Amino acid sequence: MTGSTVIEKTHCYHCGDECLTIDYNYDDKHFCCHGCKSVYQILSANKLCSYYNFNQHPGSTRKTEEKRFDYLNEPAIINDLIDYTDDKITIVTFYIPYIHCSSCLWLLEQLNKINPAIHNCRVDFLKKQLNVRFDHHQINLQQLVMLLYDIGYEPLISLQDVIKKQNSTVKDNLIQKLAVAGFCFGNVMLLSFPEYFGLSAFEQTFRNFFGWLNILFSLPVVFYSGSGYFTSAYHNLRNKVLNIDFPLALGIAVLFLRSVTEILTHTGAGFADTLCGLVFFLLVGKFVQKKTYHHISFERDYRSFFPVAVHVIENEQEKPIPLANLHINHRIIIRNNEIIPADSMLLKGEALIDFSFVTGEAMPVNKTLGEIIYAGGRQTGGAIEMEVRKPVSQSYLTQLWNNEAFSNKNTPRTQTFNEKISKYFTIVLLTIAFSALIFWIPTDLRRAINAFTAVLIIACPCALALSTPFTMSAALSIFDKNLFYLKNTAVVEQMAGINTIIFDKTGTITNGDHNHIKLEAVLTELQKQLIYSVCANSMHPLSRLICQYIGNMDKLVVNEFQEVVGKGMVATIGLDKIRIGSAKFIFNREDASSNKSTVHLMMNEQYLGYFSFEHHYRDGLDKISDLATNYGLYLLSGDNDHEQYDLVRFFKSPQKMRFNQTPQDKLNFVGELQKEGSKVMMMGDGLNDSGALKQSDLGIAVTDNLNNFSPGSDAILDGKSFIKLPDFLKFSKDTVRVIHLSFLVSLTYNLIGLSFAVTGKLSPLTAAILMPLSTVTIISFTTVAVHLAAKKRKLL
Amino acid sequence: MSIIYFLIGCSVFMALIFLGAFFWAQRSGQNDDLYTPSIRMLLDDEDIPSPKK
């Protein structure tokens, strides 16, 4: 052991990772890798070191491989990416997932100090976007992206551009409508007060003046702010659907017409303030309902997972082409960590493909020359050459998107409570209104019309229309606090109606990061230290796990080190020769026991034993099995069935677990359950689950990192909150109960109002008090009730 | 009491100006990003190049 030196443990100045070598020191600061050091060098050369003052270790680790951005010179690709260009400047918006702290913001807005050709940078922190305006004569798009990459902020450039989509979403001017309604509501209230307090005979001229002003203010409220309700009611009537917009539109129209007639004929004060208040509150409800998560995209498919361009060999030369131009028989080069975009045949190189994302298999697979490799696999190791056999859209994985589950995008799933109830509500409302009309016609025509309109006014389901948005948005923000992000408010009700839950295995109930390690060997402290020192040099996930397992050792200086990617490594420390790797690498034979991954240890030609790795299930999986009393539980896995015996304790019976499932199998299985009348909730994490997620009544994507890819779904659950899933389900049921209760409350108000209305003697003052009062009651009731329910489920 | 006509005219006019100002702000994108400026103002400007630490 003489000659071995002990290195003190330090943390990288840039990213905060533990430094495993002393090779990367600069300015008396320690760095974990060359990447981190070069970022620091760039920043210090440009006097931007304040970056490190705002936050400790703000950088991201730069241990990743070199990236190639030469595809950004293709005009076709550039045109797709930029927002605007003229002969002087270009404006482009990047999505940069790493933006996370004030240092990021500061540095990214100082880019012009590094390169003066960049005129202006603006960060949108919540959307994680960077808007850059630059002179394209002095710096081109590729150089700009390289610069961002060099300082550790690599933009995420994908085919399905997140930014473009967000910016192109139709703006419905809701805020403007709300502003107009609020403005008119305030003014009309003020002008109506004199009427309520009583005007003396002397002031009669004012009454006309106020009346006219009220009509004037009602016009924009009805025809601008409230226009959405009329169009919606009209469309729904044409489709023979009675939704809540119909009684609302009817209420608004009746309120307006009656107010105008009363004021013009000097028969009353009209209901202008009720009208403006109604529209204003309704729009507030709409506004509350519209919660968006800018940093999360729920609509991702394979296009956001695949690269923008591929490198093709043409006439002995390597050239990037956009994915759309990739054809059969193209020869492509796939480098380490790149994704294979189309089904292709392996021509050259050693392929070790990680299919975890596509099929759910946990370990990378070796492929031999001439074999067809399916699209979606990720190459680990050296570069490989392949020949494309099928176009991108026809590949094994992408074919899934041709399934009908993806074509009909807006399939009505389960009807919400509001939709169900509003049909009956409208019918009852119209019946009462017409009964009042017919009842009074023989005695007093005038009173009959008054009663008819009053019923329509007072029973206008304002409180009903508000109860759902306010309950749901309160529920949504509680889910949000628990790292569970729902696409929209309707998802809460979907979740309450679920009776079957399907889980994917890899990545969903297993946690990819924390495999369970067992050491099947007796090692001395020295041997442990030697193994630690060797493994610390490797980036292979299993090596990292071994380092974690042995933990906090002092690292010895390795004299010789050689790694065969994906197989093992040979190293010499002092006088000890150490070999660590797979059974094939150590004994040159296949491992017989395939039910777990093993790493064997050999020291000075003496076999020491092995590490075995088993999947670690997410915390709270045992809680999930308690759900079996209320829900049907199923497991669908693309992996083989070696974990069946481990999992049977969670899923009770082997019939409920299906292994070796293709993405299409998963989709079909969900469809079968739905045919039997089940309401299916699917939980998955990868592209292979996307079909099932889409087909299911409620698709939840489970992810450990929100910035990573997650397939299109209705909700995204952070892996940390997996344990709370049973509480989430119970809470969603509570929320629906709150909606039911608030419906009863709003009905009570309606009944009180109706008792005035049917007599035909509804005073504007009663309406003006009743309407806001019911609204305020509903808003406070729903908010308080939802929070109490959340407290009960310990979600707050 | 005719002064009331004038006063109401004034108040409505003022309110319309504010409404117009809000519309202008909305249209020019001032309300698009309501979070980032709150961090930006906390960062100090450094016009003088600071010596390396």
Q: Which residues contact A702 (CB under 8 A, 6 or more apart)?
A: A507, A508, A683, A684, A685, A710, A716, A717, A719, A722
pTM: 0.78
**pLDDT above 50: residue B53:** no
Alpha-carbon distance A711 to nearest alpha carbon in chain B (angstroms): 27
Specify whether A50 is located in the same domain as A81.
no
Specify whether A207 is located in the same domain as A284.
yes
pLDDT of residue A80: 76
Specify whether A255 is located in the same domain as A174.
yes
Q: Which residues of A touch B46 (CB under 8 A)?
A: 50
8 A C-beta contact, residue A349 and residue A382: yes
Distance CA(A608)–CA(A572), nearest Å, equals 16
pLDDT of residue A615: 62
CATH code at A99? 3.30.70.100
Distance CA(A358)–CA(A39), nearest Å, equals 34
On whether residue A540 sits in a domain, the answer given is: yes
Residue by residue, DSSP assigns A79-95 as HHHEEEE-SSEEEEEEE
Specify whether A161 is located in the same domain as A123.
yes
For B39, the closest of A47, A102, A203 (CB atoms) is A102
A228-255 burial code (b ≥16 CB/10 A, e <16): bbbebbeebeeeeebbbbbbbbbbbbbb
On whether residue A348 sits in a domain, the answer given is: yes
- ipTM score for this prediction: 0.86
| pLDDT-based confidence at residue B52 (cuts at 50, 70, 90) | very low
CATH code at A361? 2.70.150.10
Q: Give mean pLDDT in consecutive 10-residue pieces for chain A, a chain of 796 residues.
A: 50 77 76 80 81 78 63 79 84 84 85 87 85 88 86 76 53 85 93 81 80 93 93 90 86 93 87 92 88 67 73 82 82 83 86 73 73 82 84 74 61 69 87 90 87 86 85 89 87 89 83 65 81 75 72 76 77 85 75 63 84 75 81 83 75 83 86 90 83 87 74 84 91 93 88 83 82 88 93 88
| Contact at CB, A49 and B42, closer than 8 angstroms | no
Specify whether A222 is located in the same domain as A283.
yes
A443-477 burial code (b ≥16 CB/10 A, e <16): eeeebbbbbbbbbbbbbbbbbbbbbbbbbbbbbbe
On whether residue A704 sits in a domain, the answer given is: yes
Specify whether A284 is located in the same domain as A174.
yes
Specify whether A198 is located in the same domain as A283.
yes
Beta partners for residue A555, in sequence order? A7
Specify whether A74 is located in the same domain as A151.
yes
Distance CA(B22)–CA(A116), nearest Å, equals 35
Out of A398, A419, A439, a domain closes at: A398
User: Would the CA dihedral through A757, A434, A238, A750 be positive or negative?
Assistant: positive
Q: Which residues contact A773 (CB under 8 A, 6 or more apart)?
A: A749
Specify whether A184 is located in the same domain as A268.
yes
Specify whether A49 is located in the same domain as A95.
no
For the CA atoms of A738, A741, A743, A749, the dihedral, rounded to the nearest 10 degrees, stands at -130
Please work out, in degrees rounded to the nearest 5, the angle formed at the alpha carbon of residue A365 by the alpha carbons of A359 and A370: 105
What Å distances lie between residue A527 and A540, A550, A598, A609, CA to CA? 20, 11, 18, 12
Domain total for chain A? 6
On whether residue A59 sits in a domain, the answer given is: no
User: Would the CA dihedral through A21, A25, A29, A33 be positive or negative?
Assistant: negative
The one-character DSSP state at A555 is B
A10-21 burial code (b ≥16 CB/10 A, e <16): eebbbbbbebbb
| pLDDT-based confidence at residue B46 (cuts at 50, 70, 90) | low
Distance CA(A435)–CA(A451), nearest Å, equals 10
Beta partners for residue A610, in sequence order? A520, A600
| Contact at CB, B43 and A102, closer than 8 angstroms | yes
Residue by residue, DSSP assigns A411-442 as ---SPPHHHHHHHHHHHHHHHHHHHHHHHHTT
Residue A692 tokens, joined: 């099932």
For residue A309, which of A159, A144, A96, A145 has the smallest C-alpha distance?
Answer: A159
Q: What is the 3-state secondary structure (H, E, C) of A281-349?
A: HHHHHHHHHCCCCCCCCCCCCHHHCCCCEEEEEECCEEEEEEHHHCCCCCEEEECCCCECCCCEEEEEC
For residue A389, which of A429, A342, A351, A446 has the smallest C-alpha distance?
Answer: A342
Phi-psi region of A517 (alpha: psi -120 to 50; beta: other; left: phi over 0): beta
Interface mutation target, options A28, A42, A53, chain B, most CBs of B under 10 Å: A53
Distance CA(A714)–CA(A141), nearest Å, equals 35
For residue A34, which of A1, A63, A5 has the smallest C-alpha distance?
Answer: A63
**Residue A261 touches chain B, beta carbons under 8 Å:** no
Give the range of the structural domain holding residue A701, as residue numbers without chain letter: 472-510+618-733
**Residue A219 touches chain B, beta carbons under 8 Å:** no
| Contact at CB, B52 and A191, closer than 8 angstroms | no
| Contact at CB, A47 and B49, closer than 8 angstroms | yes
On whether residue A362 sits in a domain, the answer given is: yes
B16-43 burial code (b ≥16 CB/10 A, e <16): eeebeebeeeeeeeeeebeebeebeeeb
Out of A595, A614, A633, a domain closes at: A614
On whether residue A350 sits in a domain, the answer given is: yes
Out of A107, A133, A168, a domain closes at: A168
CATH code at A530? 3.40.1110.10
Q: How many helices (H) and strands (E) does chain A have?
A: 26, 30
Residue A522 tokens, joined: 């007796």
pLDDT of residue B21: 95
| Contact at CB, A105 and B36, closer than 8 angstroms | yes
CATH code at A666? 3.40.50.1000
Residue by residue, DSSP assigns B2-21 as THHHHHHHHHHHHHHHHHHH
**Residue A209 touches chain B, beta carbons under 8 Å:** yes
Q: Which residues of B touch A124 (CB under 8 A)?
A: 32-33, 36
Specify whether A248 is located in the same domain as A175.
yes
8 A C-beta contact, residue A200 and residue A251: no
On whether residue A149 sits in a domain, the answer given is: yes
For A102, the closest of B12, B31, B42 (CB atoms) is B42
Specify whether A713 is located in the same domain as A690.
yes
- In terms of DSSP bridges, do strands A560-564 and A516-520 run parallel, antiparallel, or are they unpaired? unpaired
Distance CA(A16)–CA(A295), nearest Å, equals 25
Q: Which residue is it, tokens 């697979």?
A: A365
* DSSP H/E element including A546: helix A541-550
Q: Is A383 helix (H, G, I), strand (E, B) or coil?
A: coil
On whether residue A464 sits in a domain, the answer given is: no
